[in-house]
Amino acid sequence: MTRRIVITGLGAITPIGNDVPSTWDGMMNGRSGIGRITRFDPAPYETQIAGEVKGFDPLKAMDRKEVRRTDRFTQLAVGAAAEAMADAKLDATKDNDRIGVAIATGVGGLETLIEQVLVMEKRGPSRLSPFLVPMLMANAASAQISMQFGLRGPNFTHVSACASSAHALGESAEMIRRGMAEVMIAGGSEAAVIPLAIGAFSTMHAMSRRNDDPQHASRPFDKDRDGFVLSEGAAVVVLEERERATARGARILAELVGYGATADAYHITSPSPEGEGNARAMRMALVDAGLEPTAIDYINAHGTSTQPNDREETAAIKQVFGEHAYKLMVSSTKSMTGHLLGAAGALEAIACILAINNGCIPPTINSTTPDPALDLDYVPNKARPAKIRTALSNSMGFGGHNASLILTEA
């Protein structure tokens, strides 16, 4: 018998809220988390805006010693994981050999790496931190969560650019289905609002340059979109085998019923023409879920606010859903949160779960000038009450990685 996978807990730290309730409130009210960068002086950069997490205190989830020994991306991950586990009322002391962790990231401890390179250049290799390697490694967040909460099941990290945490959720569900674990703490974390990343993405001309109007810079599907907005944050869910969750009386928020993962095999940064790879991921997820395209009520789009992504993703949706594409509600929460890179997929899956549970679709804000080539219902500017039984979340990443997740009501 196929094991069913449910979601019993949610955690998030984002540019619009330091927990799930405040993040959801921001989405429902169309609040932008984008502003001028404050963590360093952005004046020399072509892009001077980002989605920064505000007022985050890692000491609320970690002791002082561990904070000193971890990168910001790990601290954000631990904070989100602690919230998700508390939300699930998960007793990590029971069957902890059967509870695993999968926290994805796009770039890992990049800030620590850059800081230590400068230390070595100025003061020599003998002054490097002995914690450099465990702070920068991509699997540091998964490892820290495992150690902090005593979780001894499967422990791993996906790194597939902006599809990373969607892959973490999908592959974690598969591990539960295979019987390797009964619970997985899965999601993603990113802390890349640093000079190197801002400079690197700027040279690619991939980011918005609306420095004088940051709250309107992320505008997915709008004709005047001019690039994505880089953000930081973390999002984590508790995935659990359904019978186990029911037996312990857990509140079941949604069921993860479909997962698709493909590669474009086309270009290192551009999506394949007509979103061919994304379309195959959505079809794969529908087959995995045993659903017809008409069963989908809502799509949380990857929707980055770049010209090619929004064009090709719209084309992919039309390929897969045909006439039903025009009955779907499609929105991009990146219009409010910006792009959390490796944490984006998990956060957007959480948005789908909350839409199902609250009967309301988060909007695509900053929709002011329709693009004639993009003619789907992008839920412009205001949240929309709607009964949602089944939602699909899309993620795409540099390298041609695609992932689609399908979630249904409990």
CB-CB neighbours of 126 under 10 Å: 6
pLDDT over 80 (residue 313)? yes
pLDDT tens-digit series, residues 131-189:
999 999 999 999 999 999 999 999 999 999 999 999 999 999 999 999 999 999 999 99
Which structural domains are found in the chain, ordered by start?
5-247 (3.40.47.10), 258-409 (3.40.47.10)
pLDDT over 70 (residue 1)? no
pLDDT tens-digit series, residues 334-345:
999 999 999 999
Task: Compute the distance between CA of residue 297 and CA of residue 290 in angstroms, rounded to an integer.
Answer: 15
138 phi and psi, to 5 degrees?
Answer: -60, -30
pLDDT tens-digit series, residues 245-287:
999 999 999 999 999 999 999 999 999 999 999 999 999 999 9
Which value, to the nearest 10 degrees, does the dihedral of the CA atoms of residues 99, 56, 405, 269 take? -120
Task: Compute the distance between CA of residue 356 and CA of residue 108 in angstroms, rounded to an integer.
Answer: 31
Q: CB–CB of 191/256 below 8 Å?
A: no
Q: CB–CB of 180/156 below 8 Å?
A: no
pLDDT tens-digit series, residues 84-110:
999 999 999 888 999 999 999 999 999
* 2 pLDDT tier (thresholds 50, 70, 90): confident
Confidence (pLDDT) at 94 = 87
pLDDT tens-digit series, residues 213-245:
999 999 999 999 999 999 999 999 999 999 999
Quick check: pTM over 0.85?
yes
Known catalytic residues are 162, 302, 339
Task: Compute the distance between CA of residue 367 and CA of residue 223 in angstroms, rounded to an integer.
Answer: 9
Task: Please state the rounded mean pLDDT for residues 363-391.
Answer: 97
Confidence (pLDDT) at 109 = 97
Rg for the chain, CA atoms, rounded: 20
Task: Compute the distance between CA of residue 145 and CA of residue 338 in angstroms, rounded to an integer.
Answer: 25
Mean of pLDDT over the chain = 97
